[in-house]
Structure 1
Amino acid sequence: MSSNKSLLQKINTRIAMSAVGAQIMARTMHHLDRLVLRMSNGRATATTLLAGLQVLNLTTIGTKSGQPRTVPLLAIPFADNQLVIIASNWGQQKNPAWYYNIVAHPEVTVTRDGRSQTYLARETDSDERAACWQAALETYPGYAAYERRTSRRIPVILLTPAKN
């Protein structure tokens, strides 16, 4: 964990890494993130305030509904203006719904710092997955705990800016 985090942020990160904390956070954080985003006019999220982690809003097209679906996720910067997102679902046994949405519709919209951009999403594999996973662990070590708690292979998604 980064040393520039406050004590409260470090404590909250440790709680989120625990099995019980992850279960609670899986059911509450996206609601809190959306509330804080609304209250701050898109400048902050609960995750940023509580854990010192940068969050993006990922908008996908629902696989079944065909409707836009937006979810706040941890933003992991990567090479060439790319971003990595991890379908950890807090270490639960099922992939998050947004994962299936991007498999069906890989063109997504990412909103960060009040700006939106179109990206193409794809699941990584092999050496690329290892490099993206390492970047994720450097950003948030809790992913390792989530990986230990689940029997599934956690999908690692690379977002590449679309050429407009």
Structure 2
Amino acid sequence: MASRGGILGDRTIAALSRFHRWVLGVTRGRVGWRIGGMPTVRLHTTGRHSGQPRTTMLSAPIVEADRVVLVASKGGSDRHPAWYLNLVASPEAVLDLREGTRAVRARTASPAEKAVLWPRIVTAYAGYARYQRRTRRDIPVVICESR
């Protein structure tokens, strides 16, 4: 069954991201770098229409020395998340992790890369498999490589 809005609506997702950023700020980074057993990242992109800086909090099922893997699931929505569309338009971004800040270049994983990464992704969080079943779109896997 497809879901236009996914599990959470756009406003709820935006409010949760703002709250998550607030928690990181108010605790000076002591709380908020893990959620659901996964590391979290603060992604800084450039708005594809506005050209303005955009920031969102995301879980990162795979964090390695030279890359971070993100999943553009939007809770199983039939629409891509804005952060993903921003990265497609302007792939140079910045990731804040508990360990520090990384300048990255993002790209959508090829089908072959996704096939290799997907089992690791759903091991980190089984919800991603449920999200994929909820939507008609192929949920993009985003590889953010250090630059």
Unpaired stretches in structure 1, ≥5 consecutive residues = 1-20
1:104 matched to which residue of 2? 89
CA, structure 1 residues 78+41, in 2 after alignment: closer, same or farther (shift >3 Å)? closer
1:86 matched to which residue of 2? 71
Distance across 1 between alignment mates of 2:82 and 2:47 = 9
Q: CA deviation at 1:26?
A: 3.3
1:57-76 equivalent positions in 2, closer than 5 A? 57-76=42-61
Deviations 1:123-151 (A, max 9, x none): 01122111222221111110001001111
Q: TM-score, normalised by structure 2?
A: 0.85
2:16 paired with 1:29: yes
CA, structure 1 residues 114+78, in 2 after alignment: closer, same or farther (shift >3 Å)? closer
Question: What is the aligned length?
Answer: 140
Unpaired stretches in structure 2, ≥5 consecutive residues = 1-5
Distance across 1 between alignment mates of 2:15 and 2:73 = 16
Q: CA deviation at 1:80?
A: 5.1
Of 124, 127, 145 in structure 2, the residue corresponding to residue 139 of structure 1 is 124
2:3 matched to which residue of 1? none
Q: Is the 8 A contact 1:78 1:135 kept in 2?
A: no
Greater relative contact order (Cα 8 A, min sep 6): structure 1 or 2?
Answer: 2
Q: CA deviation at 1:75?
A: 1.5
Percent sequence identity over matched residues? 34
Distance across 1 between alignment mates of 2:66 and 2:14 = 31
Q: CA deviation at 1:23?
A: 2.0
Which structure carries more helix by proportion?
Answer: 1
Q: What is the alpha-carbon root mean square deviation over aligned residues?
A: 2.1
Q: Which amino acid aligns with 1:131?
A: V
Q: Which amino acid aligns with 2:23?
A: V
